[in-house]
Amino acid sequence: MSDGDRWQVVVHNDDHNTFSVVRHLLKKVCGHDADTARALTAQVHDNGRAVAGTYDRATAEAITLRLVRFGLHAKFGRVR
């Protein structure tokens, strides 16, 4: 694994979080603007998942952990 590896944070739909909560967390935790957060939340709702962002491993892991601690179903994985 090289230092240049990229990792994606993926948010999955669940039956517990509202659209507005997911949108808020994408803004707060991932740093997205309102329009991007709204579009990603719509993808989660419509498609069951959305890539919230692509980062280095440490950042992806930290963001995923924060999202999970706030109650979202999120995972991270290496971009292939």
Where in the chain are the domains?
Answer: 7-78
Apex 42 CA angle, 40 and 46, nearest 5: 120
Helix axes 19-30, 57-69, angle to 10 degrees: 140
What pLDDT does residue 80 have?
A: 85
pLDDT tens track, the chain, 80 positions: 455 799 999 999 999 999 999 999 999 999 999 999 999 999 999 999 999 999 999 999 999 999 999 999 999 999 98
Q: Tell me phi and psi for residue 25, to 5 degrees.
A: -70, -35
What pLDDT does residue 1 have?
A: 44
Q: Which CATH architecture has domain 7-78?
A: 2-Layer Sandwich (3.30)
